[in-house]
Amino acid sequence: MADLNMSNQDMSHQGRTGRTTVKPGEARAISVSGRLGGWLSLSFILLIVVAMGLSGGFALNEGLTRFTLPFTSDDATQQITRDVEAMRAAPSAEAIGAISRELQALAQLTSVERFAASGLPAHGIHYTVMPKANQVLMLVHILFGAFCMLLGGLQFWPGFRTRYRQAHRRIGMIYVLTVPVSVLTVLVYMVLTPPHHIYAHLVAWVALWIFGVLALVAIAMAMRALKARRIFEHQAWMALSFGCLMVAPLLRLDWVLLAWGFPAIDQETLNLVTVGMMLPQTLLITYGLILVNRQYARPMTQRAPAAVAAPATRLFLRARPVFYALALLLLGVNLAFYVAGTGMSSLDASTAMVPSALRLREQAVLVAHPLVSVLFALSLSLAFPAVVHTLSRLLQPAESAALDAVGRAAPWLTLVAGITSCLIGREIGLVPNLEQLSGGTLYMVNGLVLSGFSLFFLGAQRVGQIALMKECLVFLLCLLPFPALFFLGLQVMSWLPLPADYLAAGQGFVLPVGVSAALLFAALFYVIHGQATREHN
């Protein structure tokens, strides 16, 4: 579904000359938000450039040392085994550094004991005993991927791109040549490697396939847009490709940030939390890159909608009865699980997929806070048809001048849903040793994203940015069914013959957590083809 017929100035007041005029109050709001947005945009881009540059440096070092060891030493397996045993006997940053400089840096930023007790150091032994073809594939993947991380962030820095246009083009050319090699080698590696040989097992295996294939598609679409001189669309697709490549660096960054926030929680548990955050986090960073590049692009007053916009609009408007039927279904699911029932415990499939400690903890929270449970279920259920109604009105030019009562209520309903979701997630909490797997991550992450887009919608409404309002509504529409999608994912996973060790590691639970946010992909495709992107916001 792509954005659709309205210009991003379509909530402004048109004078007889055809020029856009803005009320004084709106002008002040736009000025303040513009200055704040400028500082936030610059900070965001610099953070991406520095974080990805450091990740690329560590990746290059790992590729030239740890992953070349099987090619440079005849006793690589014995050497890494001795280093791991020495580290276990006397944990220290230096002992971890003998295994991996990257792990040493992570340990120094958090704690030596955390990474010494994890499975990460011993995981290096597998790299020395796997088939030679796998070793070559992994080495090529890391070395080619290191370039993308070292310099890729600069491509989205508007100041760098404007001042050093030739460097931007050369980096882009190398990026387009190296990323497919890096991605294809890791995809072939995964064809040859069972999921249990990958850290985080099946969850990481599935995620790498999704983001790897999407990165290739995004680059192909970006080059197609560039050839057609649709630079705005080219930038958006390239942002998506870069976001997909940030999965591994984000995983490590999240380990550090979560360790600071939860110092008593072990690395294996925090890894499940990071995996649960991965999909929305990656796509939101991609959206952030698109927003920044819109802000600094040459302003446009109006541009024809994308070719897919008109048919997608008609399809959405005709499908409104289907969406309202889905709203009734979601109402039934939410009431069954959060008012009449007690969350996951109300689903038989959760018995095999979710540890009893987590099911009982969620049940205790919902029973202890009945008002929060009812508000959560009702706000989610009422917000969905309200968002469908409001988006439908904004997609029809004749009705776009102002929001009706339902439209004004929609962001507040989603905000209540987000806040109550965060409250449930906070109360469920997080405990070590995988006792409750990723704990309340499902509720906390989706609640934060719901709350964020609700506030973003209200801000866009204040300054009259209809195109941004529509984007926010699409994101909200994709997020509101998250509990139903999670329960559906649990049911589907219960039908699959997963090995017992996969279930013990939480794979049957964390994959449905990821599924709960999967519709965000549709929202991002909307953003790429939407009018706000086409007209540079």
Condensed to tens digits (0 to 9), the pLDDT of residues 325-341 reads 999 999 999 999 999 99
Highest mean pLDDT: which of 33-37, 369-373, 503-507?
369-373
Looking at 26-40, 206-220, 339-353, which range is the least confident one?
26-40
Is the distance from CB of 274 to CB of 254 less than 8 angstroms?
yes
Q: HEC string of 294-341?
A: HHHCCCCCCCCCCCCHHHHHHHHHHCHHHHHHHHHHHHHHHHHHHCCC
Is the distance from CB of 9 to CB of 467 less than 8 angstroms?
no
* pLDDT at 370 (0 to 100): 96
* pLDDT at 442 (0 to 100): 94
* pLDDT at 536 (0 to 100): 59
* pLDDT at 157 (0 to 100): 86
Instruction: Evaluate if residue 316 carries a pLDDT over 50.
Output: yes
- The pLDDT mean for the chain works out to 87
Instruction: Evaluate if residue 208 carries a pLDDT over 60.
Output: yes
Distance, CA of 182 to chain centre: 21
* pLDDT at 158 (0 to 100): 84
Give the 3-state secondary structure of residue 404. coil
485 vs 307: CA distance, rounded Å: 31
**Mean of pLDDT values over 494-501:** 88
* Residue 28: band (very low, low, confident or very high) from pLDDT cuts 50, 70, 90: low
Decide which of 27 and 172 is more confident.
Answer: 172
Which is it for the CA torsion 168, 173, 176, 179, positive or negative? negative
* Residue 305: band (very low, low, confident or very high) from pLDDT cuts 50, 70, 90: confident
304 vs 307: CA distance, rounded Å: 9
Is the distance from CB of 120 to CB of 199 less than 8 angstroms?
yes
Highest mean pLDDT: which of 207-211, 217-221, 315-319?
217-221
* pLDDT at 11 (0 to 100): 38
Instruction: Evaluate if residue 296 carries a pLDDT over 80.
Output: no
Q: Taking the model in full, what pTM does it have?
A: 0.89
* pLDDT at 7 (0 to 100): 39
215 vs 190: CA distance, rounded Å: 16
Instruction: Evaluate if residue 172 carries a pLDDT over 50.
Output: yes
Decide which of 334 and 300 is more confident.
Answer: 334
Contacts of residue 165, defined as CB under 8 A and 6 or more positions apart, other chains included, come to: none
399 vs 388: CA distance, rounded Å: 14
Condensed to tens digits (0 to 9), the pLDDT of residues 247-283 reads 989 999 999 999 999 999 999 899 999 988 999 999 9
**What residue has token string 């548990």?**
269
* pLDDT at 229 (0 to 100): 87
Give the 3-state secondary structure of residue 13. strand
Instruction: Evaluate if residue 222 carries a pLDDT over 70.
Output: yes
424 vs 444: CA distance, rounded Å: 8
**Mean of pLDDT values over 417-445:** 94
Neighbouring-strand partners of residue 20:
14
Neighbouring-strand partners of residue 13:
21
Q: Give the tokens for residue 249.
A: 């660096």
Q: Among 387, 407, 372, 363, which Cα is nearest to 479's? A: 387
Looking at 430-439, 452-461, 499-508, which range is the least confident one?
499-508
Query: With 0-12 CB in 10 A as exposed, 13-18 as middle and 19+ as buried, what is 151?
Result: buried
Query: With 0-12 CB in 10 A as exposed, 13-18 as middle and 19+ as buried, what is 98?
Result: middle
Condensed to tens digits (0 to 9), the pLDDT of residues 126-138 reads 889 999 999 999 9
Q: How many CB atoms lie within 10 A of CB 149?
A: 24
**Mean of pLDDT values over 228-233:** 87
Q: What percent of the chain has pLDDT over 70?
A: 90
Q: Give the tokens for residue 80.
A: 């890494």
Condensed to tens digits (0 to 9), the pLDDT of residues 67-102 reads 999 999 889 999 999 999 999 999 999 999 999 999
**What residue has token string 């408007």?**
317
Neighbouring-strand partners of residue 21:
13
Neighbour-count burial for 297-326, b at 16+ CB within 10 Å, e otherwise: beeeeeeebbeebeebbeebeeeeeebeeb
What are the Cα distances from residue 115, in Å, to 58, 295, 373, 536? 17, 41, 37, 45
Instruction: Evaluate if residue 19 carries a pLDDT over 50.
Output: no
What are the Cα distances from residue 265, in Å, to 377, 427, 466? 30, 16, 43
Decide which of 5 and 153 is more confident.
Answer: 153
* Residue 312: band (very low, low, confident or very high) from pLDDT cuts 50, 70, 90: confident
**Mean of pLDDT values over 214-238:** 92
Q: Among 126, 144, 123, which Cα is nearest to 135's? A: 126
Is the distance from CB of 276 to CB of 442 less than 8 angstroms?
yes
Task: Give 98's Cβ-side CA count (13 Å radius).
Answer: 17
Q: Give the tokens for residue 414.
A: 């989603």
* pLDDT at 301 (0 to 100): 57
Instruction: Evaluate if residue 34 carries a pLDDT over 80.
Output: no
Which is it for the CA torsion 167, 170, 173, 178, positive or negative? negative
For residue 14, what is the DSSP state? E
Q: Among 247, 230, 229, 231, which Cα is nearest to 286's? A: 247
448 vs 57: CA distance, rounded Å: 32
